[in-house]
Structure 1
Amino acid sequence: MGDLELLLPGEAEVLVQGLHSFPIREMGSEGWSQQHEHLEKLNMQAILDASVSQGEPIQELLVTHRKIPALVEELIAVEMWKQKVFPVLCRLEDFKPQNTFPIYMVVHHEASIINLLETVFFHKLASQELQKQAELMEFEIALKALSVLRYITDCMDSLSLSTLSRMLSTHNLPCLLVELLEHSPWTRREGGKLQQFEGGRWQTVATSEQQKLSKLDGQVWIALYNLLLSPEAQARYHLTNFVKGQLLKLRAFLTDILLDQLPNLADLQRFLAQLALAETQSPKKDLVLEQIPEIWERLERENRGKWQAIAKHQLRHVFSPSEQDLRLQAQRWAETYRLDVLEAVAPERPRCAHCGVEASKRCSRCQKEWYCCRECQVKHWQKHGKACVVAAQGDRAK
């Protein structure tokens, strides 16, 4: 592993061996929280290893001990919790948590897992505030999922027939990706300035950088290249009138500037030129035996009719911790999120927690948040205050 190590090889293996899926009822419990901390450490170590090109020890451990299925089941379980339990929890009359951070950690758990999977694949508040945080997390998770999808398309030649069928026929991913390029949800105009969502926040793009291909745009183009030009996809993708019309929209985006940055897209440009002259195909219905979503159906079957009871149980026993429990948890979080490691895995210099510009000043109490100036720190205190106090108490308790 790299020079800066969060985990020794033996420690990483012990953590990986202990990974397992939890019942939905136990999400947020002490045992679940400990596994979340272990996942965060594995996640940060995987990023550290990747940043210094030290092989893929975390990936090898996950594969050797067959823990990828456990991570996938945890992803599905968190998604089901967010759909079935979280809305019920927020509607309970006695839902008045003194501290919302334990609930936020459950919402954040999905992002931790998808980030770990992305790294591995790449190298082969009150109820209203919680809802707002959950929505932002959903957006970040969706962008991570887009990267994971692109890495999956790199392996088109090894995907099963049922997987190819779901990608090309059931979900029609090429047409969905065309829609993404058209609407580009990771870019926006704010105050007349172009902004891109990167590194977990919206950042203003300098005028000189606006012609530069963003990472997410690049992921979409590479996924489209793989989906449309791989022999496996071309043999099974039906080019109907609708599909043809959608795909030909791509020609407007294939400018010389884009081709200079991704030269391989010249092959896609030639494919589209041929498609414009080709006869379309009639819709076909192939007989394909597909796997059913076993994990989702099993979890739903096991918990059907219990969502209200699960929400009440978690409110009483999981999301209403005592002051002492919070301090102990804050101490564990401080040990997990070591500042030297966080700074090493950060893709760029820290950004102001309030306005998003590059920051050089850190909160003196908790040392967790960054700011560009005193004014931004004061404006952000309403959001940061509670978490700051808890984190600072945890540091003093060590």
Structure 2
Amino acid sequence: MAVDGRSTVLLPTEAEAYAQTLQSYKIKDIGNPSWMRQHEYLEKFNMQALLNASNEEDEFVKDFLISAEKIPVLIHELLAIEVWKQKVFSIIMKMDFEPKTTFPLYMALYHEATLINLVETIFFYRESCEAAEDSVLDLVDYCYRKITALVAKQEAGEVDELVKKAASRVVETGGNLQELGQQEKAISFDVGVKAVAVLRYVTDHLSSLPLSVATRLLNTHDVPVLLVQLVESPPWTCMNEGKLMKNIDGKWQEVPMAERLKLTKLEGQVWIAIFNLLMGSECQQKYEFNQFNKDQVLKLRGHMTEVLLDQIPMLVELQRYLEHLSMMEPPSARQNLVLEQVPEIYDNLVKENEGKWAAIAKHQVKKYFDPPKAALKEQAKRFADTYNFDLLEGLINEPPKCGVCGQPATKRCSRCQNEWYCRRECQVKHWPKHKAACKLMTDALDKIKLQEGGDQTKQSSS
């Protein structure tokens, strides 16, 4: 829809009403119709928040989520889908289960990406971090787990495989469970990258957060050392067929030789987070140095080049701090006797479902993830209504790519308008796989048009 000539996904009145309905779901209910409906609301929130931020407009999505006290709900749902993927989806992947389509399962997997995108957009603001209250501790732990997994993927060579797959073809949202497993890896990588940005925003607002947040970042998890690993061996950078590839705004792109030292937004987030954690006055009082983490932090000196300092001038102060640190014994942290808060959401989700994972997987496979044809068509209709493809294309900076070979595409499926191809041969080759999804999408779009036509007839007659 458009308001005052501007594209929009949600009107402010709709956003306010949707925000009031958001609720925390039990893991056993993930995938049910009510949960799917909330996923649609959250996806609309995500797209509208991104539009408002991109156009520098009033960010009413953030305001309504704060006023309705739903920020802790977002964090609960983020951790719930994380636990579901670890404990339930892993069982489903091993089951003798061949659904008619993997679309419902894919939407459950993609739910985590939707939530972390929304959290990233709204946590830029101090008031969003403050509105998270004690659940921000769970968010810190979540980001730590995701970034640690990102580092592990880099060390295991999984990132190189993701780049090769991205270069060879576009990941589809249909197919069998094996393809779904590959899609899960790609989603997990994107989630880990977003977690870096969320963590940076938390470090921006430490002075407004509970005291235990800084203690957990610095001493429980030693996040500065983790961030040093991201600088030393960034998972979003790799070589592919002799070309330097970087993940920029969620897309793997070749970086020209002349721009190799230019920081991406993501690389800048890491450096700013490091600066916040090492140079903040409260952080310097809390951070417990030992010989190991001192040696790790001092590795940053080798990356403090003139090119880097020109791009982020405030790092000059960090450079001086590192030089002083190298010439003295590790400073002792100021010890305060405090009652430390601990995160509860993740542990509670695991405890209340312990021993039930197989039963939950069996129940969800039977009830939610292999729906009858009529229910599947209804889901596709809602999916088409939720995702405004014309609007999304306006947010994409690069040209579409062929769904088969990944080359720049100029031809589009004339029926669903959702798949791109570089030539007719690729379209013919892809048709056996695309046929079912195409039919679902066109049927859903036809229903929407018929419904809109009926509404217009009623309005004219009245």
Could you tell me which residue of structure 2 aligns to residue 105 of structure 1? 107
Report the Cα offset of residue 254 of structure 1.
Answer: 1.2
Of the three residues 205, 225, 233, the one matched with 1:183 is 233
In the alignment, residue 112 of structure 1 is paired with which amino acid? T
Rate the CA distance shift 1:201–1:51 in 2: closer, same or farther, 3 A.
closer
Report the Cα offset of residue 333 of structure 1.
Answer: 0.7
Could you tell me which residue of structure 2 aligns to residue 118 of structure 1? 120
Whole-Å separation in 1 of the counterparts to 2:207 and 2:413:
50
Report the Cα offset of residue 84 of structure 1.
Answer: 1.2
Of the three residues 206, 209, 212, the one matched with 2:256 is 206
- 8 Å Cα contact 2:286-2:335 kept in structure 1: no
Where do 1:15-94 residues align within 5 Å? 15-93=18-96
Whole-Å separation in 2 of the counterparts to 1:30 and 1:106:
12
Of the three residues 147, 156, 159, the one matched with 2:197 is 147
Report the Cα offset of residue 133 of structure 1.
Answer: 1.1
- 8 Å Cα contact 1:327-1:397 kept in structure 2: no
Of the three residues 208, 211, 235, the one matched with 1:161 is 211
Whole-Å separation in 2 of the counterparts to 1:378 and 1:160:
58
Find the residue that maps to 2:286 and give its secondary structure. coil
Whole-Å separation in 2 of the counterparts to 1:356 and 1:123:
37
Could you tell me which residue of structure 1 aligns to residue 155 of structure 2? none
Whole-Å separation in 2 of the counterparts to 1:273 and 1:352:
51
- 8 Å Cα contact 2:286-2:334 kept in structure 1: no
Whole-Å separation in 2 of the counterparts to 1:11 and 1:48:
16
Rate the CA distance shift 1:206–1:72 in 2: closer, same or farther, 3 A.
same
Q: Is 1:312 equivalent to 2:362 in the alignment?
A: yes
Whole-Å separation in 1 of the counterparts to 2:445 and 2:353:
39
Q: Is 1:274 equivalent to 2:277 in the alignment?
A: no
Report the Cα offset of residue 25 of structure 1.
Answer: 1.2
* 1:5-63 CA distance string (max 9 Å, x none): 21111111011111111111111111111110111111111111112211221111010
Where do 1:210-289 residues align within 5 Å? 210-281=260-331, 288-289=338-339
More displaced 10-residue stretch of structure 1: 293-302 or 181-190: 293-302
* 1:163-207 CA distance string (max 9 Å, x none): 111100111011100011111110110010011123433221223
- 8 Å Cα contact 2:15-2:61 kept in structure 1: yes
Find the residue that maps to 2:247 and give its secondary structure. strand
Find the residue that maps to 2:123 and give its secondary structure. helix
Q: Is 1:324 equivalent to 2:326 in the alignment?
A: no
Rate the CA distance shift 1:278–1:353 in 2: closer, same or farther, 3 A.
farther
Q: Is 1:366 equivalent to 2:416 in the alignment?
A: yes
* 1:67-109 CA distance string (max 9 Å, x none): 001111101110111111112222223x111110100111110
Whole-Å separation in 2 of the counterparts to 1:181 and 1:61:
37
Report the Cα offset of residue 123 of structure 1.
Answer: 4.6
- 8 Å Cα contact 1:156-1:230 kept in structure 2: no
Report the Cα offset of residue 147 of structure 1.
Answer: 0.5
- 8 Å Cα contact 1:6-1:41 kept in structure 2: yes
In the alignment, residue 188 of structure 1 is paired with which amino acid? C
Rate the CA distance shift 1:90–1:134 in 2: closer, same or farther, 3 A.
same
Find the residue that maps to 1:97 and give its secondary structure. coil
Report the Cα offset of residue 252 of structure 1.
Answer: 1.2
TM-score in terms of structure 1 length: 0.93
Rate the CA distance shift 1:139–1:381 in 2: closer, same or farther, 3 A.
farther
Find the residue that maps to 1:397 and give its secondary structure. helix
Whole-Å separation in 2 of the counterparts to 1:258 and 1:382:
50
In the alignment, residue 328 of structure 2 is paired with which amino acid? A
Q: CA RMSD in A?
A: 2.3
Matched positions, count:
397
Where in structure 2 are there 5+ consecutive unaligned residues?
A: 127-174, 449-462
More displaced 10-residue stretch of structure 1: 365-374 or 270-279: 365-374
Whole-Å separation in 2 of the counterparts to 1:121 and 1:370:
34
Rate the CA distance shift 1:242–1:83 in 2: closer, same or farther, 3 A.
same
Whole-Å separation in 2 of the counterparts to 1:286 and 1:381:
66
Rate the CA distance shift 1:285–1:7 in 2: closer, same or farther, 3 A.
same
Q: Is 1:128 equivalent to 2:178 in the alignment?
A: yes
Where in structure 1 are there 5+ consecutive unaligned residues?
A: none
In the alignment, residue 275 of structure 2 is paired with which amino acid? Y
Find the residue that maps to 1:332 and give its secondary structure. helix
Rate the CA distance shift 1:357–1:123 in 2: closer, same or farther, 3 A.
farther
Whole-Å separation in 2 of the counterparts to 1:325 and 1:247:
55
Report the Cα offset of residue 371 of structure 1.
Answer: 4.2
Rate the CA distance shift 1:293–1:394 in 2: closer, same or farther, 3 A.
same
Could you tell me which residue of structure 2 aligns to residue 335 of structure 1? 385
Whole-Å separation in 2 of the counterparts to 1:203 and 1:59:
31
Rate the CA distance shift 1:204–1:359 in 2: closer, same or farther, 3 A.
farther
Report the Cα offset of residue 214 of structure 1.
Answer: 1.2
Whole-Å separation in 2 of the counterparts to 1:210 and 1:140:
22
